[in-house]
Amino acid sequence: MTHWPRIEWVGKPFGMLVHPDDVTTAREIIDYILQKRCPITCVFRLRSRDRGDRIGEFVGTPLIEEGRVVGLLGILRDISERKTIEQALRRSEEQLRSVVQSTQDAIVSLDHEGTVVFWNYGAEQMFGYATEDMLNRPATCIIPERLREQHRQGIQRAGVADRVTGHRFESIGLKKKWR
């Protein structure tokens, strides 16, 4: 993971591999493992010989012999790529959220029972209900009485199909001030 030859770090303080900003935290974690005699999983940055800083997931557990703590067993796994992907996914989700929230169109998502699980700004403007007022409520509260049975059947069909993601449909809804 670090590309340092073993001879350069075996028998030396673990801190030499840890990013300078994370050394104190790493020492505190190691001390905690040894004092409390309990395993811990944590994440910190490591210095690589030739690949820059890496992000490592460290699993440490005390080595106990005859009731005494005599050392520490540790496994370090490079999760740099996973963290990079997670960060890219967060950015992508933020961009999508921004687009969805800024559109004038009402975008509403329902679960398999017809309960509102997503309600964007366009839906707030169109129907007059704030997001917090609509989440976890049945969508039928904005469906005109004459169309509720048709709506219920549509939800039932969607449940049988197991998903309708990506399908657009239009419906008539009730605006809050008209109720």
CATH level 3 topology of 6-83: Beta-Lactamase (3.30.450)
Residue environment code for 135-151, b if the CB has 16+ CB neighbours within 10 A, otherwise e = eeebbbbbbeeeeeeeb
Please give the residue that has the higher pLDDT: either 14 or 96: 96
Tell me what pLDDT residue 168 has: 63
Q: What mean pLDDT is predicted for residues 32-49?
A: 93
Q: What DSSP letter does each residue of 49-84 carry, written as one string?
A: SSS-EEEEEEEEEEEEETTEEEEEEEEEEE-HHHHH
pLDDT tens profile 68-103: 999 999 999 999 999 999 999 999 999 999 999 999
Tell me what pLDDT residue 14 has: 78
Question: Which of 37-41, 121-125, 146-150 comes out lowest in average pLDDT?
Answer: 146-150
- The answer to whether the 6-83 and 103-178 domains have the same CATH topology is yes
The answer on pLDDT for 124 being more than 90 is yes
CA dihedral 88, 93, 96, 100 (to 10 degrees): -170
The answer on pLDDT for 174 being more than 80 is no
Q: What is the DSSP letter of 19?
A: -
- Pairing verdict, β 68-78 and 53-65: antiparallel
- The architecture in CATH of the region 103-178 reads 2-Layer Sandwich (3.30)
CA 148 to chain centre: 35
Sequence spans of domains, the chain: 6-83, 103-178
Residue 72 and residue 65: Cα distance in Å, rounded? Answer: 11
Among 49-53, 129-133, 147-151, the range with the most confident prediction by mean pLDDT is 129-133
